[in-house]
Structure 1
Amino acid sequence: MTNALIDKLSRRDTVSPDEIAALAEVLEPPRKVDANVDIVLEHALTDHSILLLAGFTARYSTLSDGRRQITEINVAGDFVDLHSLLMKQMDHGVVTLSPCVIAHAPHSRLQRLTEQHGHLTRLLWLDTIIDAAIHRQWLVAMGRRSGLGHLSHLVCELFTRLSAVGLTDGQSFNMPLTQTVLGDALGLSTVHVNRLIAELRREGLVRWSNPRVDILDWPRLARIAEFDPTYLRLHAAPV
C-alpha cells in the first residue's frame, strides 16, 4: 500500500525494511472513495491522518459566500493531512478530485511510530516541511506570476511530483482536473483558464486532452513557469 510513499521518501534518503514495515503497520485497510467527496472537513477534529494511495485530492478553504480556494493538490504517496497529528482541529478541508484510494493512519499509531522510529519520523517531518514549501511557491505564483506562468508552474510541479512516484509516461501524465478545479487552484475564472490552456497548445508547449497532458517542450515550459524544483527536495541527502 505504501509503494508511492516509499518511492518518494527514498528519493530523499534510504528507507530501511524495518521502516517500510513500520509504515505499513500504521495504516488501516485501504478504501475507495468517489470523486467530489470531502475526506477532511474544514474545522473538523480528527483522530487520524490520511495517506492517498491513488488519485488526486485538494486542500481548500472556502469563504462565507461559498467561493473556494484550492491551496495544494495532492497525488499518490502524499499524506494529505499528516499535520493533523499535532493540529487536531483542521483549518481547511480536503476533497477528492478523482476517484481515489485512501488509507487512514490513526494518530495513536503515528504517535507510537514517532517514539520508535526517529529517522522515519524525520523523513515524514520533511514531507510536511515540503508541503509548506509548496504553499510558498503557490503564494508566489498567485501574487507575481502571469496567468500563463502560473498554469505552467502548476503543470511542471504536478509532472515532477508524479514522476517521483512513477506515475508519468515519458513526458506525459494524467491530470484529471476540470477547468473549474484549475480555476480554484489558480484563482482565475474558468474562461481565463480555458484561454490559457489554448495558449499553451497554440505555442506548442503541451498537447492537452483531459485527462492526458503531453509536454512537448519542457525547457520552454519550465522557462515560462520559472520552475525550479529545489523546493520539492527530490534529491538524496541524509536526514
Structure 2
Amino acid sequence: MLTENVLRNRVAEISAAERGLLEGAISHVQAYAAGSVVVRQGVPVDISTLLVEGFMTRHVDAPDGRRHPVALHVPGDFVDLHAYALKELDHDVAALTDITVAVFRHAALEEIQASQPGLARRLWFLTLLDAAMHRQWIYRLSSLNALQRVSHFLCETHARLLAIGASDGHTFSLPMTQADIGEVCSLTNVHVNRVLRELREARLCNVRGASVQILDLKGLVERARFDPHYLYLNQHTAAGAVARTGSSP
C-alpha cells in the first residue's frame, strides 16, 4: 500500500479504512531523480505529495546562493500538505535521493475534508506534527552545541525510521553526505567530520557512507538531550527510540 507508512506507530494512527480512502484519492504516482526540485517557492500549486520511497528536503535558498534545509522527510510523510491551504509555498521541496511520490489533487483533499471529517482531522494532525518537528529543528540549531546537534538529528531520524520499520533499532540507512548533515545542523563539513569521529570514538554511533550504526542508543540519547515526545509516537515505539524498557505495545 502506498499509504502504509502514514501516521504508522503514531498516537493518532490512521485506520485501515482511512488508508483505503487515501489510496482512492491518489491522482497518480511519480518518480523524481535525486536533486530534482518537486515544488518551487512561490509557484502556485493545486497538488500535494506523499513521499512513498526515498528522502526529501524542504529548504530556503539564501540570496548568496546557500541552501538552508528546514526539514528532512522520510517515507510516509505528507510533504507539502500545507500547500492545500496555502496554494503556494515559501520554500522549495526537493528530492534528496531518487524518490517516488503519490500525488493528491487539492480537489480530492477538498472532498475528504467535506465528507470525511475524521480523516481530515488526522491529515490536520500531520501538519501539526510538521510544525512540532520544525520547532525542534529551531531548538536544535539555537540551543545545542555541535556534538548535541548531530546526535539529536541522528536520534530523531532513528526514531522516525523506527516508526515506519526502516530501522531495526540499531542500524538504518541515511543517504546523506557529511556536507548534507552540515547543512541540516548548520555546521561546516570539517566540523561534522570531527563530531562523527568523536561519536565513533565514544562508542556511541558509527556513520559510514549511507549507513548509521547506533552502538549505544541510551548514551547517544543522553548526549543529544533527545526526548521523542514531540514526534507523538505510540508508547512502544517511543520507548524503542530511547532504549527504554518496560513499555507494552
Place the TM-score, normalised by the shorter chain, in its bin.
Answer: over 0.9
Whether 2:107 is the aligned partner of 1:108: answer: yes
Report the 3-state secondary structure (helix = DSSP H, G, I; strand = E; otherwise coil) of the residue aligned with 1:69: strand
What TM-score results when the alignment is normalised by the length of structure 1?
Answer: 0.94
RMSD over aligned Cα atoms: 1.3
Post-superposition offset of 1:27: 1.1
Indicate the residue corresponding to 1:27 in structure 2: 26
Deviations 1:36-91 (CA, angstroms, capped at 9, x unpaired): 11111111211100100011001100111101110110000001100000011210
Partners of 1:183 and 1:207 in 2: how far apart? 16
Amino acid at match of 1:150: R
Partners of 1:142 and 1:14 in 2: how far apart? 30
Describe how 1:72-221 pairs up with structure 2 within 5 A. 72-221=71-220
Post-superposition offset of 1:202: 1.2
Partners of 1:177 and 1:153 in 2: how far apart? 16
Partners of 1:142 and 1:15 in 2: how far apart? 32
Post-superposition offset of 1:31: 2.2
User: Which has the higher mean CA deviation after the structures are superposed, 203-212 or 75-84?
Assistant: 203-212
Partners of 1:10 and 1:167 in 2: how far apart? 12
Post-superposition offset of 1:176: 0.3
Partners of 1:9 and 1:167 in 2: how far apart? 12
Amino acid at match of 1:47: D
Indicate the residue corresponding to 2:5 in structure 1: 4
Unaligned runs of 5+ in 2: 236-249
Partners of 1:61 and 1:47 in 2: how far apart? 21
Partners of 1:210 and 1:76 in 2: how far apart? 20
Partners of 1:149 and 1:17 in 2: how far apart? 38
Q: Is the 8 A contact 1:28 1:105 kept in 2?
A: yes
Deviations 1:82-137 (CA, angstroms, capped at 9, x unpaired): 00000112101111111111111100001101111111111111111011111111
Unaligned runs of 5+ in 1: none
Partners of 1:3 and 1:17 in 2: how far apart? 9
Partners of 1:45 and 1:16 in 2: how far apart? 32
Aligned residues: 234
Q: Is the 8 A contact 2:196 2:206 kept in 1?
A: no
| Alpha carbons of structure 1 residues 147 and 50: separation in structure 2 relative to 1, 3 Å | same
Describe how 1:1-80 pairs up with structure 2 within 5 A. 1-5=2-6, 8-9=7-8, 11-80=10-79
Post-superposition offset of 1:206: 1.0
Partners of 1:85 and 1:200 in 2: how far apart? 41
| Alpha carbons of structure 1 residues 123 and 9: separation in structure 2 relative to 1, 3 Å | farther
Q: Is the 8 A contact 2:155 2:221 kept in 1?
A: yes
Q: Is the 8 A contact 2:51 2:102 kept in 1?
A: yes
| Alpha carbons of structure 1 residues 22 and 161: separation in structure 2 relative to 1, 3 Å | same
- Higher-RCO chain (CA-CA 8 Å, sequence separation at least 6): 1
| Alpha carbons of structure 1 residues 10 and 153: separation in structure 2 relative to 1, 3 Å | closer
Amino acid at match of 1:187: S
Amino acid at match of 1:38: V
Post-superposition offset of 1:10: 5.3
Report the 3-state secondary structure (helix = DSSP H, G, I; strand = E; otherwise coil) of the residue aligned with 1:105: strand
